[in-house]
Structure 1
C-alpha cells in the first residue's frame, strides 16, 4: 500500500502548488527587518492549506543569506496545558538568547524574573527555575519559597526587568526569528497564552516572530474572549499578515490522481479507473475534485482510499466508491443521511410517485446540512449516485437497473451495504467468484461443485447462496464463452432438482424461486445470443441428463412457446426455446424418463411429485390413465402414502389488509391441500380413505403421520 506522507515540503524543488514565490516574498520581508522589536509577521491559511510547507520554504531561503536572523522554532502544540506552554515559551526564549544575555550582567536573571512574573509566583516557579538553572538555580535555598523571593519580590519593577533584557539584546548584532507554526492547532486558551506572551515579555529588540494560523478561526477565538477588541487585538500584535495563495485546483487534481492511481492498478496491468466510463468521470469532476481545496484534503482522501479500497477492490464501482468516501470525509452529515435512507435511494423509480412535500422532506434530510453555495452540487452528486432521485427531483425515470447491478453501483440494493461495511455481505457473490465460474463454465465438475457448495450455505435472510449465485450468473451470462454454454447448462440441468430448496422459494406475494432463476439464466445464455437452430440443439443436448423435475419444467416452458394458455398468443418462432421438431423430441424424452422412474421406483422420491404427475398426464395423450394406474398401485403401499401426502400438501400465505392502516405487517403461512383437478392423476376418494385409515390405525409412525394429518385438515377445511 502506498505511504502517502502528510509531512510538509522543505525545498523549492518539491513545490507543486506555486508556494515558493510566496515564501521568497515572506523571506524578503523578514530580512528587511534590520532592527525588529518583537515584530510579528503572520501567514494566514485554513487548516491543511500548506502553511507549514511555506514556513519551511521561508527557512530555506533565509538559510541562503549570511546575515539572516537566527531561526528558533517553537513547537507550541507540544505543550498541552496553558501553564506548560508558558514555561515552554521561556525555555525556547532562553535557549536561543542565553549566549547573548550572558554578556550583560544580570540580563539572564532579569529574563528569569520575568518568567517568574508570568508564573504568578505560584506552582510554575520551580519549573521556571529549572529552565534557567546555572547561577540562578544555585541561589535557591529552601526550594520554591526562596525562589519566589528571588524572582518576584525584588526591588526591580517589571518594566525595569524588561528594560535590562532589552538593553542586552539591543547591544548585540544578532537577530532572532521565533517561528510559531499552526497556532490554530492549540486550544483557544493556549492560543491566547502564546499571543499574550508575544505581546508582553516577547516584545524584545532584535527579535521577530513568524506565526501561522487560520485567520478566521483565530479571530473568532480572540473575539469570544475579548469582544470589545475583536480583530483589533490581533492587529496590535501582527504588523504584517499575508494570506496564503490558494493552490491551483488543477494541481490538486493532478496530485490526487498521482497518489491514488497505484491503488487502482489491476493485476493485469490495467486500472479500475480506466475505460470509457462517463459516470466515473462525471463523479470525479462534480463529487471529488471540488472537495479538494487544500493539499491536506488530497492526502486525507488518498490515505483513506489506501486503506478502504483494498477491502472492496473489484466488488464496487470505483467512481461511486471514491465519491462516497469523499462524502464520508468532507460531508459526514450527508454520508450518514445516505446510509440511513437506503429504502428511498436504491433501485429504479418504478411507480415511486412522491408528492412535492415528500420530495422536499427527502432533500432536507439528505442535504439540509450542506451550505447553500454547495447544495445544488451535492444534490447533483446524489442524483448521479442514485438515479432514483432523478425521478424525485427532476422527473426522470428509469425502468431497469440491471446494468447498475452488473456494474456493482451504489444504487443497487444488492451492493449498497458493501460500500458502508467495506466487505461483501454474505449474500453478495464476489466478482472473482463469478469470473472464475464463467471462466470454468466448460468444466461440469467445477460448476456442480460450486452450486452444491452454494446450496449448503445459508446467508442472511434465510436463503441459500445458490439463489444469489444464479442471479449473479444471469447478470454476467455474457462472460460465459459460446463454446462453454452447452457444458455449463448440462451441468446445471443435472443438479437442477437439488437447487429446488424450500429456503429459496418466494414467500407471500413473491414468485421467484430457483426454478425461475434457472429459467432466467437459461434464456440469458441462449435466447439472447443464439439463433433458434443452435439454441434448440444446445437445450436438447443439455436435457439428456437433466434432473426429472427440471426436465418437466423445461418441457412445459418450451411447449408453452408454441401452445400458450388460453387467451395468450404463441411466441414468434425466433423467440421460442426450441424448434417444433425438437419440442417433440423433448416431450418424448420427458415421457420416457417418467415411465422409467415409475418403473424403478425413483419417481416417488422426485421433488415436486404432484406437479410431475400433472405434466405426465398432460403429455401422455391417454387423458391421465397411465398416471392414475401408477398412483392406484402406490396407494396400496402404506409407506408410500405419506410421500404422496407430502406431495399434495402445499403452502399458502395470507396477509390481512386491516382497517385504518392497521393491516398485517407480515404474511401468515398456512397449509393448503393441492387437490383441485387431482382426479386426473389420482382417485381422490381412495386417497382420502387411505389417509384416514393410516392416521386412525397408527400404521405409520413419526413425522409421516403428522404430514397426513395436516393434509387431511387442510383438505377438510371450509373453502373460502
Structure 2
C-alpha cells in the first residue's frame, strides 16, 4: 500500500507528530539556513536605542518553528534570550506588570549585570501598570505617567525617585551589557484586537532602551486589522514600531505532499490497513485533499486523528474514502455537519428519470454550504458518491447491483457504510467538544460534573476543560460554584511532567476556566460568598491555594476579585487548617511542598514550624520530597541537544523542614517506602552531599 508520489528514498524520516513547533533537529522543511541568516542579522544589529524585529506569516506557516531555530542560534553564541507569551495571561489591565515581572524573573538568577537589570525592570514596570491609555504613537512617557497617576501609583514613586531616574537606571544597566538582550513575543495573532494593541503599546513603551531587541511573531494581516483606529491604517502604526520584518517563506506543494505521504505510509503500515484502491486515490487526492492543504500545520491537523480513526474502522471502509471524508471533517466542519442529513441524496441509487426532487435539493445544499470550496465538494460528490451524479445534472444512473458492489467494496457510497463511518470516526478533538457541550448542559450539577470527569482519562479531562472555555460567553447566566468545585477537585488527577517548553500545564488550564466562571460576578462580595461556599468542598489544600491565589492580591498572580482584607482572612482560615492537619491527610496533597511553605514560611516564617513528627511519617516524607522535584532544561553552547534533568527546590525545602537535619529525617522516612535505590532518594543524597546544579 503506497500513497506517496515521490521516491521512497529518505522519505521515511520526514515525519511529523502532533502540532508542536519544530527546532533544528526536526527541520523537515529545510529552513535552518534561513533562520540562521535571520539570527545573524539580529546578532549583528546595533541597538543603541533598541530594535524591533518581526517574523510574519499566516497561521500555521511555521513562525514559532523559525523562532525556535533563531533562539537556538542566538543562545549558542551566549546571547541572552527571554520569552514572554502574552496569550497565557487573561485580560490586559495587568499586562505590563506581568511582562516586567516575567522578564525580571528570567534574569534575576543570572550574573550580577543581569540581576541589576532585573531589579531595574521591576521598579520601572511598577510605574506603567494601567497600559490601556498609553498611546501607540506620540509621547509615551507622559501619557504613561498620567495613567500611573490615575491608579494612585505614580505620585508615590515619582516623589521618591522619579520616572526619569528609573528609566535612566534601566538604560544604564542595559547599556553595560556586552550583548543585547533578546525578548521574544510569540503568538500575537492569537490575542484579541484590544490585547494586540496593548502588547504593541508595551513594545513601544520599552523599545527605545539600549541593547534591548524584540522579536515579535504574528500574522501581519491580522495585526494590521487590529491596529486600525479612527480611520488610520494599522500598517502605518505597525511600521512605526517594527523596524525589520522577516517573512516566513512559502512551502512548495511538492514538499508538503511528500511530508503528508510519508506520514500516511507510516500510519497505514503500522495499522496494516489494507483496504485501498490505487485507482481511486490519485483523483481523490488531487481534487479533494490537496486543495485543502497549504501549511505544515494543515498536514498536522489532518494527520493527527487518522491513527485513531483508522484503528476504530479496523480496515472496514475503503481507505481513499476515509481520507477524503477526514479532510472534509477537519477543514470543512460546517459542511461535514450536513453529511448525515444529506445521506439520502448522496447515496440513494437513481433507477429512472423520476428522481425525488428533494434528493437533488439535499445534494445542492451540501455543495453550496461552502462557497469558497464548491469545487472540492463537487469533486467529493462525483468521486465518493456516484449516486449523486444524476442530481448534479449528469446522465449517470445506478441500480441495486451498483449498491451491492459499493457494500462489497466498503465504499461510503452505500448508506450503511457511510453511517458506520459517521458513528465510529469521532476523534479526541470532536469527542472533547461533544463532551464539553454535555457538561455545560449540566454545569450547575456538581455531582454530574464530578462523575463525568472521573470517567475520563486525565488527558481527556484537560482537553474537555480547554474546550469548555469556549462557552465563556454563556457563563454569566449560571451559578459558577458547582463547576468551580468540580474543576478544582480534578487537579490531583491531572498532575504530569511538562510536555515541552510551551506547555502551560493543567493548573493554568483549570485556572483559566475557574477565572472565567467567576468573572461575570462583578460584585466582590458575591465572589467572596461563592468562594466561601466552594472552599469546604474542595478536597485538597493545594487546590484551595490555586483558588485563593486566583482571586487574591498577590503581585503578578491574583486578579483581585475580592477585597484585600477579606482575601487575607480567607487565606488565614485555610492556613490554620493546614497547620492543624495530620501528616496522613497532608500526604495526599498534589503540591505538598508549596502548601507547607505557604502555611509556614511565605508571610511570617516565625509564626509556625512544621511538626517534626510529620517528617518521620513515610508517606508524608515521600510526598514532600517528591513535590520538591522540578525538571530543568539546559542547552549546551554549541549544541542543539536539550538536556533534561531532575532538580530539587532545595532552598524552599530547607526552609520548610528547618534546614538539612529535617531533610535527612524526611529522606530516611521516605527511603523506608521507596527504597534506598530510588531515584528520588539518590537525588536527595546528591544534595545532602553538597552537589548543586550549575547556575543558569
Q: Is the 8 A contact 2:187 2:217 kept in 1?
A: yes
Q: Is the 8 A contact 1:8 1:53 kept in 2?
A: yes
Q: Is the 8 A contact 1:17 1:248 kept in 2?
A: no
Whole-angstrom distance in 2 between the partners of 1:346 and 1:83: 55
Closer, same or farther: CA 181–70 of 1 in aligned 2, 3 Å: same
Question: 1:49 aligns to what SS in structure 2?
Answer: coil
Closer, same or farther: CA 113–71 of 1 in aligned 2, 3 Å: closer
Whole-angstrom distance in 2 between the partners of 1:57 and 1:104: 24
Q: What corresponds to 1:370 in structure 2?
A: 370
Q: What corresponds to 2:247 in structure 1?
A: 243
TM-score (norm 1): 0.49
Alignment of 1:554-573 (within 5 A): none
Closer, same or farther: CA 321–105 of 1 in aligned 2, 3 Å: closer
Q: Which has the larger radius of gyration?
A: 1
Whole-angstrom distance in 2 between the partners of 1:35 and 1:153: 31
Whole-angstrom distance in 2 between the partners of 1:79 and 1:197: 15
Q: What corresponds to 1:186 in structure 2?
A: 191
Among candidates 135, 139, 151, match of residue 157 of structure 2: 151
Alignment of 1:18-29 (within 5 A): 18-29=30-41
Question: 2:298 aligns to what SS in structure 1?
Answer: helix
Closer, same or farther: CA 353–121 of 1 in aligned 2, 3 Å: closer
Alignment of 1:445-594 (within 5 A): none
Whole-angstrom distance in 2 between the partners of 1:61 and 1:107: 23
Whole-angstrom distance in 2 between the partners of 1:90 and 1:240: 24
Q: Is the 8 A contact 1:40 1:240 kept in 2?
A: yes
Q: Is the 8 A contact 2:16 2:263 kept in 1?
A: no
Whole-angstrom distance in 2 between the partners of 1:196 and 1:231: 15
Q: Is the 8 A contact 2:346 2:385 kept in 1?
A: yes
Q: What corresponds to 1:175 in structure 2?
A: 180
Q: Is the 8 A contact 2:381 2:389 kept in 1?
A: no
Deviation for aligned residue 1:42: 1.0
Let me know the Cα RMSD of the aligned residues: 3.5
Q: Is the 8 A contact 1:100 1:172 kept in 2?
A: no
Question: 1:333 aligns to what SS in structure 2?
Answer: helix
Larger RCO (CA within 8 A; separation ≥ 6):
2
Closer, same or farther: CA 407–266 of 1 in aligned 2, 3 Å: farther
- Where does structure 1 lack aligned partners over 5 or more consecutive residues? 123-144, 425-720
Question: 1:212 aligns to what SS in structure 2?
Answer: strand
Closer, same or farther: CA 313–263 of 1 in aligned 2, 3 Å: farther
Q: What corresponds to 2:407 in structure 1?
A: 405
Q: What corresponds to 1:118 in structure 2?
A: 128
Closer, same or farther: CA 212–104 of 1 in aligned 2, 3 Å: closer
TM-score (norm 2): 0.51
Closer, same or farther: CA 238–302 of 1 in aligned 2, 3 Å: same
Alignment of 1:27-106 (within 5 A): 27-35=39-47, 37-65=49-77, 69-95=79-105
1:180-232 alpha-carbon deviations (Å, 9 max, x no partner): 11222233333322211111134311111111111222222222x56424221
Asked if residue 320 in structure 1 is aligned to residue 333 in structure 2, the reply is: no
1:359-415 alpha-carbon deviations (Å, 9 max, x no partner): 5x556522334344x422331122212112222224141333232121121111221
Q: Is the 8 A contact 1:113 1:152 kept in 2?
A: no
Whole-angstrom distance in 2 between the partners of 1:105 and 1:303: 43
Q: Is the 8 A contact 1:350 1:397 kept in 2?
A: no
Q: Is the 8 A contact 2:108 2:118 kept in 1?
A: yes
Question: 2:389 aligns to what SS in structure 1?
Answer: helix
Q: Is the 8 A contact 1:192 1:222 kept in 2?
A: yes
Asked if residue 8 in structure 1 is aligned to residue 18 in structure 2, the reply is: no
Question: 1:43 aligns to what SS in structure 2?
Answer: strand
1:286-306 alpha-carbon deviations (Å, 9 max, x no partner): 222322211121121211112
Q: Is the 8 A contact 1:45 1:215 kept in 2?
A: yes
Whole-angstrom distance in 2 between the partners of 1:232 and 1:211: 17
- Count of matched residue positions in the alignment of Structure 1 and Structure 2: 391
Whole-angstrom distance in 2 between the partners of 1:204 and 1:19: 31
Deviation for aligned residue 1:105: 13
Q: Is the 8 A contact 2:49 2:209 kept in 1?
A: yes
Q: What corresponds to 2:507 in structure 1?
A: none
Deviation for aligned residue 1:102: 7.0
Question: 2:398 aligns to what SS in structure 1?
Answer: coil
1:640-686 alpha-carbon deviations (Å, 9 max, x no partner): xxxxxxxxxxxxxxxxxxxxxxxxxxxxxxxxxxxxxxxxxxxxxxx
Asked if residue 210 in structure 1 is aligned to residue 221 in structure 2, the reply is: no
Asked if residue 255 in structure 1 is aligned to residue 265 in structure 2, the reply is: no
Question: 1:337 aligns to what SS in structure 2?
Answer: coil
Question: 1:211 aligns to what SS in structure 2?
Answer: strand
Whole-angstrom distance in 2 between the partners of 1:209 and 1:272: 51
Closer, same or farther: CA 196–371 of 1 in aligned 2, 3 Å: farther
Closer, same or farther: CA 378–25 of 1 in aligned 2, 3 Å: farther
Q: Is the 8 A contact 1:16 1:251 kept in 2?
A: no
Closer, same or farther: CA 358–226 of 1 in aligned 2, 3 Å: farther
Q: Is the 8 A contact 2:55 2:245 kept in 1?
A: yes
Whole-angstrom distance in 1 between the partners of 2:48 and 2:356: 68
Q: What corresponds to 2:349 in structure 1?
A: 348
Whole-angstrom distance in 2 between the partners of 1:323 and 1:16: 25
Q: What corresponds to 2:596 in structure 1?
A: none
